[in-house]
Amino acid sequence: MNTPADQPVLASGTFTLGSSTNDPLTIRRLGFGAMRITGPGIWGEPADRTRAIQVLQRARDLGVDFIDTADSYGPNVSEDLIRAALYPYSGNGNPLIIATKGGLTRQGPDAWAAVGRPEYLRQCVQMSLRRLGIDRIDLWQLHRIDGKVPEAEQFGVIAQMINEGLIRHVGLSEVGVAELERARAVLPIVSVQNLYHAGNRQSEEVLQYCEQHSIGFIPWFPLGNRELVAPDGPLGAIAQRHSCTPAQVALAWLLQRSPVILPIPGTGSLSHLEENCSAALVHLDPAAMAEIDQLV
């Protein structure tokens, strides 16, 4: 029998993507972001491929059943590693949900450019299917809406791919409420992935919208910068009181902040992975929640 000590992620609870559709998908709320398993600048192969594979497999063993990636991570490297480590995507008797994204091109380390032409978005989906070795992507997210291409064309081809059975559910990344509403007029949006953490609440309005409409909110960069989770940073004293680390405080705050929040902390380190997953066992008291709420 699984226990919190064996699989701490189980303590994070669950969320159902597409709860208003006829094809809902229930996942554990604390997932894993597979961006940092690539090379520096999210470019090329990792320095230690074996360790990257071990991190992915250990995440599964700790109870993670939701892994977020993108075709642009590497590019292609993250998806290739996920297949090498986890195919055929099952863990402890449960399916592993691999969410991926498309719509960004790469020009070098830390260089990204949006391309939303319909034929390119279709290529993104087809190539992700091929790399991951699957027939349908459980959650495919438009990495960025391309301002140079009419939104109707971008949303339209995604709708076509849903109807063709290539995509099960669709999400958006880095959008505001107005963009989200325009997309929802065409697409059954089940998730939004925006920058959000204890030190940056610029997407608060989007989070509130997601709460109102039962849309999953995936905060990327959930641990914020190094200063936020440093031992002597703003979360340090709270961590000491709760016998945990500042990083665990940052993740616990997200899990308690809203039931629609689905944190996906990423790392290439086994020790950091175990630290992050154990954050699901941390319960912040009301005083700590209030203190963190006042950071911004």
pLDDT digits (tens, 9 = 90+) for 39-96: 999 999 999 999 999 999 999 999 999 999 999 999 999 999 999 999 999 866 779 9
73 catalytic, yes or no? yes
Q: Name the catalytic one among 73, 89, 196, 209.
A: 73
The mean pLDDT of the chain is 96
pLDDT digits (tens, 9 = 90+) for 150-207: 999 999 999 999 999 999 999 999 999 999 999 999 999 999 999 999 999 999 999 9
Of 65-74, 88-97, 207-216, 263-272, the range with the lowest mean pLDDT is 88-97
What is the model's pTM?
A: 0.96
Q: Does a structural domain hold residue 209?
A: yes
Mean pLDDT across the stretch 34-42?
98
User: What was the pLDDT predicted at 5?
Assistant: 74
Q: Does a structural domain hold residue 289?
A: no
Q: CB neighbours of 251 closer than 8 A, spacing ≥ 6? A: 30, 222, 223, 263, 265, 276, 279, 280, 282
Contact at 8 Å (CB) between 193 and 171?
Answer: yes
Q: Does a structural domain hold residue 55?
A: yes
1 pLDDT higher than 60:
no
- How far apart are the C-alpha atoms of 177 and 288, rounded to whole Å? 29
Q: How many domains does the chain have?
A: 1
- How far apart are the C-alpha atoms of 6 and 229, rounded to whole Å? 25
User: What was the pLDDT predicted at 180?
Assistant: 98
Q: Does a structural domain hold residue 241?
A: no
Most distant CA pair in the chain: distance in Å?
53
Q: Does a structural domain hold residue 35?
A: yes
Burial bucket for residue 287 (CB in 10 Å: 0-12, 13-18, 19+): exposed
Q: Does a structural domain hold residue 278?
A: no
Q: Does a structural domain hold residue 243?
A: no
Q: Does a structural domain hold residue 238?
A: no
3 pLDDT higher than 60:
no
270 pLDDT higher than 70:
yes
Domain ranges, residue 65 = 10-225+255-268
Q: What is the CATH number of the domain that holds 215?
A: 3.20.20.100
Short-list 101, 96, 36, CA closest to 66:
96
